[in-house]
Amino acid sequence: MIEVISIFAQFFIFLIFFSFPFTPKTLNKTLNFNNVLDLIDAHAINIIFFLYFCLLLSFFNIDLKFLFNIYFILSFGFIIFNYREFKFRIKTSKLFIFFLFFLVVLSLFFNIAQNLRLESDGHMWLEKALVFFNGDKIQSIRNVPSLPEYPHLGSFLWAFFWKNSIMELEYFGRYFQPYFYILSVFLFAKCISFKNINLKIFFILFFILITYDAFLFAGYQEYLIFTSLLVAARYIYLIDFEKTINSKFIFLVLSILYINCWFKDEGTVYFIIFSTLLVFVSNKSIQSRILFYISIIILLSLQFFLQKYVIGLHGFPHNNLLSLVSLMSDPLLMITKFLKILIGFIISFIKYPLWIIILVCGLLNIFIFKKFQKINKYFTWCLILNFGFIFLIFLSFDNYEWYIKVTLDRLLFQTSGFYSILFFLFLKNLKFLKI
């Protein structure tokens, strides 16, 4: 019974935690929006803030319970101080949507509680989580047996909420992922102005149905990237690429994209591709673009410095790209590899049917509607470069058939949410956005 109560309590802990430090009012004022951003936007951006809070303090050997208590006090005090605004927002919001959010999140919580098994990669990330859980210095990551050079933020979050659960149960550390995932889906649904709440509910549940994979909540990190990219896509969708983009808004999107560098190695590649293209298609001056590119380089350099000289490890574990040079001398092997990777792509698309929707809508936008606005170009080029990166990586593997079998579907899944915007652009071309 105590365990059940703890699960319910964990939901409200998240709710309190991520109410700080921004309100819809402050966000709209800061980003120059006319009340476009509401409570769920503030909740999502507050999570991004919390991720940076955890990232920064993960480099200092600070007691996790102390950090939790400090953040909880700040969050709770913030809610009390802004009580009137929260009260107003709650009263004017559709409480039924919140109740649905509550039910869906709780369902995933209980599902994890009933299926405690960690899958293969989950044990690798758990090794890092135990470093933080046991209060060891971050440099101890160098001593974990499995791929110590992998980024650590996901493991830190795991340890943080595990250590601060009422009963100190391991699986409570994994609850952050489903909470953030479901929140991102509800946030993403705001891209369409549903007049009929039933259609909105249908869209939310359908999107969850085609993107939910219980296997990945068994210790994997893919949902952290999937979710943060889904949040980033929501705000990129709000950008009017035909006008000069607010620099603050670009900074917000870049901040969301950058956090992926600290979840998985490929998150760095996504950050480079998505952020550089975003700056490129923006209508900013050349001077502003240069400053943004310098900022991107600084952020990448900062990650390298912290991992190399603070943690003591840095580098992609499968750096075989030089093998592509020798592959050029064997066209038959290259074609064989290419075809098998392509088949792996098709199988992954079937496993995660969101990809089928994305590709069909993207092609219809180009060839049927002949619509290729800047935003469409942006996501299309991101998709092309993303696929190109995956093909290059898998072509470089000697044991490529094994990697296709065990990693390709997950690698494709974690970026699929980002390209779901192509579906909304398709609806926009149909003049179907206000339903």
pLDDT digits (tens, 9 = 90+) for 270-314: 999 999 999 998 888 889 899 999 999 999 999 999 998 888 887
Q: Report how far residue 371's alpha carbon sits from residue 53's, in angstroms, rounded to the nearest whole number.
A: 41
Query: Do 323 and 220 share a structural domain?
Result: no
Query: Do 44 and 161 share a structural domain?
Result: yes
Q: Report how far residue 380's alpha carbon sits from residue 362's, in angstroms, rounded to the nearest whole number.
A: 8
119: in domain: yes
Q: Report how far residue 144's alpha carbon sits from residue 421's, in angstroms, rounded to the nearest whole number.
A: 39
Q: Report how far residue 283's alpha carbon sits from residue 201's, in angstroms, rounded to the nearest whole number.
A: 36
Query: Do 90 and 216 share a structural domain?
Result: yes
45: in domain: yes
Q: Tell me how many domains the chain contains.
A: 2
Mean pLDDT of 401-410: 92
Query: In the prediction, which pLDDT does 196 show?
Result: 78
Query: Do 180 and 326 share a structural domain?
Result: no
Question: Which of residues 194, 223, 241 is at a domain's end?
Answer: 241
Query: Percent of the chain beyond pLDDT 90?
Result: 65
Which tops the pLDDT comparison, 351 or 30? 351
Answer positive or negative: Cα dihedral of 421, 425, 427, 431.
positive
304: in domain: no
Query: Do 350 and 223 share a structural domain?
Result: no
Question: Which of residues 189, 223, 241 is at a domain's end?
Answer: 241
Question: Which of residues 241, 264, 281 is at a domain's end?
Answer: 241
- Residue indicated by tokens 């579906």: 423
- What three-state secondary structure class fits 92? helix
In sequence order, what are the residues at sequence separation of 6 or more whose Cβ sits closer than 8 angstroms to the Cβ of residue 310?
59, 138, 139
Residue 34 pLDDT more than 80? no
9: in domain: yes
249: in domain: no
Query: Do 378 and 234 share a structural domain?
Result: no
Please answer whether residues 421 and 237 qualify as being in contact, where contact means their C-beta atoms are separated by less than 8 angstroms: yes
Residue 321 pLDDT more than 70? no
Residue 174 pLDDT more than 90? yes
307: in domain: no
289: in domain: no
Q: What is the mean pLDDT of the chain?
A: 89
Query: Do 20 and 152 share a structural domain?
Result: yes
Query: Do 203 and 102 share a structural domain?
Result: yes
Please answer whether residues 155 and 55 qualify as being in contact, where contact means their C-beta atoms are separated by less than 8 angstroms: no
Query: Do 116 and 236 share a structural domain?
Result: yes
Answer positive or negative: Cα dihedral of 183, 189, 194, 198.
negative
Query: Do 50 and 150 share a structural domain?
Result: yes
306: in domain: no
Query: Do 221 and 334 share a structural domain?
Result: no
Query: Do 102 and 205 share a structural domain?
Result: yes
Query: In the prediction, which pLDDT does 30 show?
Result: 87
| Helical pair 64-81 and 83-92, crossing angle rounded to 10 deg | 70
Q: How confident is the model at residue 316 (pLDDT cuts 50, 70, 90)?
A: low
Mean pLDDT of 335-342: 91
Query: In the prediction, which pLDDT does 435 show?
Result: 47
Q: How confident is the model at residue 320 (pLDDT cuts 50, 70, 90)?
A: low
Query: In the prediction, which pLDDT does 128 show?
Result: 95
- Residue indicated by tokens 């990650």: 303
Structure tokens given for 347: 């199988």
Kindly write down the DSSP assignment for every residue of 188-242, as one continuous string.
HGGGSB-SSHHHHHHHHHHHHHHH--GGGGTT-SHHHHHHHHHHHHHHHHT--TT
Alpha carbon of 204 to those of 97, 192, 257, 400: distances in Å? Answer: 10, 11, 23, 36
Domain residue limits at 102? 2-241
